[in-house]
Amino acid sequence: MAHIIVVGNEKGGAGKSTVSMHVATALARMGHRVGGLDLDLRQRTFGRYVENRKAFCESAGLELPSPSYHTLPDIDPSTVKDGENIYDLRLSAAVAALEPETDFILIDCPGSHTRLSQVAHSLADTLVTPLNDSFVDFDLLAHIDSTGEKILGPSVYSEMVWNARQLRAQAGLKPIDWIVVRNRLGAQQMVNKEKMGKALDRLAKRIGFRTAPGFNERVIFRELFPRGLTLLDLKDIGVKQLNISNVAARQELRELIKALDLPEVAADF
Ligand SMILES: Nc1ncnc2c1ncn2[C@@H]1O[C@H](COP(=O)(O)OP(=O)(O)O)[C@@H](O)[C@H]1O
Ligand SMILES: [Mg+2]
């Protein structure tokens, strides 16, 4: 059975597609068979990323280990029975097709609350939630008092994850390993950073997630998209000397993979 990694957060711009591409490619580079699905059917950033990689490799005559990207199969609406949802059927069909031929299925979710995203969360063995270092974004996980210290209660996204966990428990599936990853951390804003860290630690215990080392704000994370590359590929395309920021970014990615603690994945690579 493939291990399903869902990357989700209802907030747009949190870094879901960036994290999806980096994690999927890192696993592929380690020799795992990785299938990718993009549930943001409109923006398709993750899908576009993988397509860009394929086009770049073809034009440069390179063969880089890559995730394979799949679209949801079409289903004839006339075959959908009463009470069934066509999106559920399309997602189930895509996962069922990938399961026998992959070790990991990575599902990138849209930055909104959709039926597809909801169902995907209930399929997650591992759920990765990138989070911008901002209380505006934190508000989708939990409401917090005016001091930024006291958690008042879970919010919409956490409640959705809670529902997904309930569904899995009822189906006898193993619990979701939920990991929140801070993204776009700045070198400044120390006070905010510390406050966010503390609030997240408190919330982690309360609603059941782990936190993993995240990514700093780095221009390289934005530059690689047109060629479909990740930080791990730079040497393979002939970059001889990585600058300090790129070395640090690559290390951040390695730390994240380690922290995800995925089955059959070496801690060091
Ligand atoms: N660590 C980072 N450093 C710099 N830019 C980043 C970083 N992570 C994401 N970005 C940029 O932030 C924007 C949103 O990222 P994206 O992965 O598309 O988020 P989402 O899929 O959650 O909407 C993109 O322009 C992306 O290039
Ligand atoms: Mg996205």
Q: What is the DSSP string of 69-83?
A: EEPPPP--GGGPPTT
Q: What percent of the chain has pLDDT over 90?
A: 94
Pick the atom of ligand 1 nearest to 184's CA: 1
Contact between 152 and 40 (Cβ < 8 Å): no
Q: In the predicted model, what is the mean pLDDT of residues 36-52?
A: 97
Residue 269 lies in a domain: no
Model's pTM, two decimal places? 0.97
Supply the pLDDT for residue 143: 97
Residue 177 lies in a domain: yes
CB atoms within 10 A of CB 161: 24
Q: In the predicted model, what is the mean pLDDT of residues 121-145?
A: 96
Supply the pLDDT for residue 219: 94
Residue with the larger pLDDT of the pair 36 and 193: 36
Supply the pLDDT for residue 131: 97
What number of CA atoms fall less than 13 Å from residue 114's CA on the CB side?
A: 20
The 3-state DSSP class for residue 58 equals: helix
**How far is the C-alpha of 170 from the C-alpha of 181, rounded, in Å?**
28
Q: In the predicted model, what is the mean pLDDT of residues 240-259?
A: 95
Domain extent at residue 163: 3-260
Residue 199 lies in a domain: yes
Structural domains in the chain (count):
1
Nearest to 52 by CA among 258, 230, 260: 230
Q: What percent of the chain has pLDDT over 70?
A: 100
**How far is the C-alpha of 137 from the C-alpha of 139, rounded, in Å?**
5
Lookup result for tokens 């398709």? 44
Supply the pLDDT for residue 267: 75
Interval 153-185: pLDDT, tens: 999 999 999 999 999 999 999 999 999 999 999
Residue 166 lies in a domain: yes
69 confidence band (pLDDT: 50, 70, 90)? very high
Residue 67 lies in a domain: yes
Instruction: State the helix-helix crossing angle for 190-207 and 156-170, rounded to 10 degrees.
Output: 30
Supply the pLDDT for residue 206: 95
**What type of residue is 7?**
V
Supply the pLDDT for residue 136: 95
Q: Which CATH number belongs to the domain containing residue 40 in this structure? A: 3.40.50.300
Cα(20) to ligand 2 centroid in Å equals: 9
Pick the atom of ligand 1 nearest to 217's CA: 3
The 3-state DSSP class for residue 77 equals: helix
7 confidence band (pLDDT: 50, 70, 90)? very high
Cβ of 183 less than 6 Å from ligand 1? yes
Cα(7) to ligand 2 centroid in Å equals: 9
Contact between 157 and 141 (Cβ < 8 Å): yes
Residue 267 lies in a domain: no
Pick the atom of ligand 1 nearest to 14's CA: 22
Residue 244 lies in a domain: yes
Interval 217-245: pLDDT, tens: 999 999 999 999 999 999 999 999 999 99
269 confidence band (pLDDT: 50, 70, 90)? confident
pLDDT at 268 over 90: no
Cα(14) to ligand 2 centroid in Å equals: 8
Residue 265 lies in a domain: no
The number of the ligand nearest the C-alpha atom of 15 reads 1
Nearest CA to ligand 1 atom 23: 13
